[in-house]
Structure 1
Amino acid sequence: MKQPQLPDLPLFRTIADAAGALGYPAYVIGGFVRDLVLERGSKDVDVVCVGDGIALAQEVGRRLPGRPRVTVFKNFGTAMLPTPEIEVEFVGARKESYRAESRKPEVEAGTLEDDLARRDFTINALGLSLNPENFGELVDRYDGMGDLQRKLIRTPLDPDITFSDDPLRMLRAIRFATQLNFDIEPDTFDALARNKERIKIISQERITTELNKIIMAPKPSYGFKLLFSCGLLQLIFPKMAQLQGVEKVGQHAHKDNFYHTLQVLDNVVAAGGDLWLRWAAILHDIAKPATKRYDKRVGWTFHGHEDKGARWVPGIFTDLKLPLGEEMRQVQKLVRLHLRPIALVKEIVTDSAVRRLLFEAGDDVDRLMLLCRADITSKDHQRVARYLRNFDVVEEKLKEVEEKDHLRNFKPVITGEIIMETFGLRPSREVGELKEALLEAILEGKVRNEYDEAFALLLELGKQKGLSAVPK
């Protein structure tokens, strides 16, 4: 593996000159160096100096063209300097000590060795010198280069101390392993299991940020398997962990819904699904354990899991501190409807069934179909191919009916106000029943969603209820 080379940017020479003038040895440390080795793009640079990081940032700012504004965070002892190419954060080298009840360390000035030792993983403890006498030279006290070569996540110090001090590092270990497709070194992984209860001192917002990064990785199933294996998933997302397991009675056994969910998630990722479609994949069968029943004739059933799962979505989003707006409503809709296209595949596709699906799914119908395709995970490849061919038929029918009837997100032309005005009614159950009957007629194709046709049917429905139109 090639040694990392600092990019040929005047900025780095300017930092070196400023550090030399102040007498502060300075180094580029951490993720920027790691990503140089892995040939991944990175726009954020961390500069550690053995001295006053804020003073170094201000000196660099004075030396750069245009004298860019330095943002100082005095409480944290850091300073931020934006440049056209990259953003640089400056901090003084430090050492840390922790109390058991908090992940916020007590910080004091330290040496370069102290600063490297406090890093989470060896691959993030690499440095490049910004000092005139050895500019660009690699600093690698903990064999981070070797671990990059071996594709290994390992802590610089005793992992029990590293994870107990800052339990968020446990999720970061799994996140990096998932994003980079690395293994977690055995002693480090064993420490995850030993220290998992410490995750309880971490805020939900920070946990969810790491969880979303795992979900957005190229193969998120790997991260969830690691989370489950070390016991962290059972603590941070117990409902998902409860999907795991197979129960057998006689010849009847159901599939393991945890591993099925992970396959669906990976399928959605392969099809280009965004974060919220990935969450819909994670939650589509979340209520199966709560709805599992055994029937001697048909075996295991999970009747109503899609409706119960949809009802659970707001609570899950609240618990995980995920947004409760449009994103949550979209996931809830996809969970509720995820069986509908599969039901259409199993029977003759009628215009009426397609109209109903278009009406309920609205603009999310394409995302729903992507989720449903991802949900076909049988080991029987012929069965999968047959289902996917049937989905092609359903999608053609959706397109055909949509072009003809324009039912995606349609609103009935006859509103509740028109019904009340027509028959002289006040808001009542009767008005709701008439609205529902009109909607049913449109979805069944008995009338088009056009005013004259729909109003004529309204008068007929009113007559059946003994209502007369009020003369205008």
Structure 2
Amino acid sequence: MNLSAEITGVFKEVYLVGGALRDALLKRPFKDIDLAVPPSADFKARTLRLARKLGASCFPLDEEAGIYRLNQRKAPFCQLDIMPFVGGKLETDLKRRDFTINALAYKLSPGAVFTSDKKTGDFRLRLDRSKVTDLCGGLKDLAAKKVRPVSQGIFTDDPVRLLRAFRVAATLDFTVDPAALKAVKKHSALIASTAQERVREELMRLFESPVSHKWLALMHKHGLLTAIFPDLASQESCATAYYGKGGVLTHTLRVVERMDYLFENLAACLPEYKKVAELMPAPRTMKFAALLHDIAKPPKAAMIKGRLRFFGHEEFGAVMAEKVMEQLRFSREDIRLVSKIIGTHLRPGNLAANEVISDRAMFRFFRT
């Protein structure tokens, strides 16, 4: 199937926009296709007609804004989002987007060829850069590997973009523009006002980075990490004599760093990991658990016989993590898993401290 021919057969003027175009320009694969078209009275009817031609389901993501999603039922299983220009014109639409590298447009022609990988479902597209509409300097920022806001108001218009700036940079291995970092620090508290499931999705995608700990550290430097997780704020001043500057939070980020290393070097760390690969949680879920594993150390910190102790922090941490995950709208399955990991995270170390680990002890460990 020639996707471009099918799309342009229904919409004569249609533009590839957003992350799909950005990734195509970077010669990266992409899964979802974002399209923008001039507004028209028959937009919905045309969209339904396109869905029939593609053999796709069609449903509104935002009926008031006219955003529809099409999911193909057969190969190449394309997911396509289509919407009229915001503000009625392409120029207005692009200037209301989040980052310059996402504020680009490319007019599709029947000859544009989307190629798909049957195994991964990824798409690729070769295009002529000279035909890209760039009103905000996105091509220059792509070349400079920089995430820069389209305008000063993007974070107040939609606070989830505070986190998205780091997630996009982490995904592409770009840098975040210094002016954007200052704006994040100024507006970080706004992240609490946005839909928390959107925060969760951006955060979990950030954890897919092989160096997610570096991005978490940068988020903390500019006030965003503790704006998302207020319970982590007290970690920074807790147990500094033991962990050094940054206290428990420094330790927390180091544990996430070790998780990054583990999942990038599984074969070296766990030579026989393939035997249990199907049972292993997703790496991003394990990294999230690492971020919250000591969430209860500050409230459980106490001097006992001259020593700083954190008795019961793992069990109480499981309860605290459950509440955090409920606020972020995680699934019950993920909440149970992460809570269990946090609640039992001292047990492997305790077992390893024994000279001999009995079969019964191992059974009890894996039973939990």
Classify the TM-score, shorter chain: 0.7 to 0.9
- How far residue 12 of structure 1 moved from its aligned partner, in angstroms, is 1.2
Taking only the aligned residue pairs, the percentage that are identical comes to 30
Q: Give the Cα–Cα distance (whole angstroms) in 2 for the partners of residues 333 and 87 of structure 1.
A: 35
User: C-alpha deviations, 1:323-366, integer Å up to 9, x for none?
Assistant: 33x43333233223222232333342252xx623431432x7xx
For structure 1, which runs of at least 5 residues remain unmatched after alignment?
1-8, 96-109, 365-472
Q: Which residue is 1:68 aligned to?
A: 55
User: C-alpha deviations, 1:143-176, integer Å up to 9, x for none?
Assistant: 2122122221111122xx1111111111211211
Q: Which residue is 1:50 aligned to?
A: 38
Q: Give the Cα–Cα distance (whole angstroms) in 2 for the partners of residues 172 and 188 of structure 1.
A: 12
Q: How many residues align?
A: 325
- How far residue 195 of structure 1 moved from its aligned partner, in angstroms, is 1.6
For 1:270, the aligned partner's letter is Y
Q: Which residue is 2:67 aligned to?
A: 78
TM-score by length of 1: 0.62
Provide closer, same or farther for how the CA distance between residues 336 and 12 of structure 1 changes in structure 2, counting only shifts above 3 A. Answer: same
Structure 1 residues 31-42: aligned runs within 5 Å: 31-42=19-30
Q: Give the Cα–Cα distance (whole angstroms) in 1 for the partners of residues 237 and 58 of structure 2.
A: 52
Q: Give the Cα–Cα distance (whole angstroms) in 1 for the partners of residues 94 and 315 of structure 2.
A: 51
Residue of structure 1 aligned with 2:208, choices 204, 210, 216: 216
Residue of structure 2 aligned with 1:303, choices 311, 316, 323: 311
Q: Give the Cα–Cα distance (whole angstroms) in 2 for the partners of residues 12 and 132 of structure 1.
A: 5
Q: Give the Cα–Cα distance (whole angstroms) in 2 for the partners of residues 77 and 334 of structure 1.
A: 43
Residue of structure 1 aligned with 2:229, choices 221, 224, 237: 237
Q: Which residue is 1:181 aligned to?
A: 173
SS in 1 for 2:94: helix
Q: Give the Cα–Cα distance (whole angstroms) in 2 for the partners of residues 312 and 162 of structure 1.
A: 32
Q: Which residue is 2:7 aligned to?
A: 15
Residue of structure 1 aligned with 2:256, choices 246, 259, 265: 265
For 1:361, the aligned partner's letter is F
For structure 2, which runs of at least 5 residues remain unmatched after alignment?
113-126, 264-280
**Residue 282 (1) aligns with residue 287 (2):** no
**Residue 361 (1) aligns with residue 358 (2):** no
- How far residue 54 of structure 1 moved from its aligned partner, in angstroms, is 3.1
**Is the 8 Å Cα contact of residues 213 and 254 (structure 2) preserved in structure 1?**
yes
Residue of structure 1 aligned with 2:352, choices 341, 345, 349: 345
Q: Which residue is 1:113 aligned to?
A: 91
User: C-alpha deviations, 1:230-275, integer Å up to 9, x for none?
Assistant: 2222222111233224655xxx543432122222223224333624
User: C-alpha deviations, 1:89-123, integer Å up to 9, x for none?
Assistant: 2211122xxxxxxxxxxxxxx21110101111111
- How far residue 132 of structure 1 moved from its aligned partner, in angstroms, is 8.1
Residue of structure 1 aligned with 2:134, choices 113, 135, 140: 140
For 2:298, the aligned partner's letter is P
Q: Which residue is 2:183 aligned to?
A: 191
**Is the 8 Å Cα contact of residues 179 and 217 (structure 1) preserved in structure 2?**
yes
For 2:55, the aligned partner's letter is P
Residue of structure 2 aligned with 1:152, choices 146, 152, 155: 146
**Is the 8 Å Cα contact of residues 34 and 80 (structure 2) preserved in structure 1?**
yes
For 2:47, the aligned partner's letter is A
**Residue 122 (1) aligns with residue 118 (2):** no
Q: Which residue is 1:315 aligned to?
A: 323
Provide closer, same or farther for how the CA distance between residues 337 and 10 of structure 1 changes in structure 2, counting only shifts above 3 A. Answer: closer
User: C-alpha deviations, 1:51-91, integer Å up to 9, x for none?
Assistant: 334354345457x4xx6356253433133444433232221
- How far residue 187 of structure 1 moved from its aligned partner, in angstroms, is 0.9
**Is the 8 Å Cα contact of residues 293 and 345 (structure 2) preserved in structure 1?**
yes
- How far residue 191 of structure 1 moved from its aligned partner, in angstroms, is 1.0
TM-score by length of 2: 0.77
For 1:54, the aligned partner's letter is K
Q: Which residue is 1:406 aligned to?
A: none
* C-alpha RMSD of the superposition: 2.9
User: C-alpha deviations, 1:161-218, integer Å up to 9, x for none?
Assistant: 1111111111211211222222110111111111223223212222222222222332
Provide closer, same or farther for how the CA distance between residues 333 and 186 of structure 1 changes in structure 2, counting only shifts above 3 A. Answer: same
For 1:224, the aligned partner's letter is L
**Is the 8 Å Cα contact of residues 239 and 248 (structure 2) preserved in structure 1?**
no
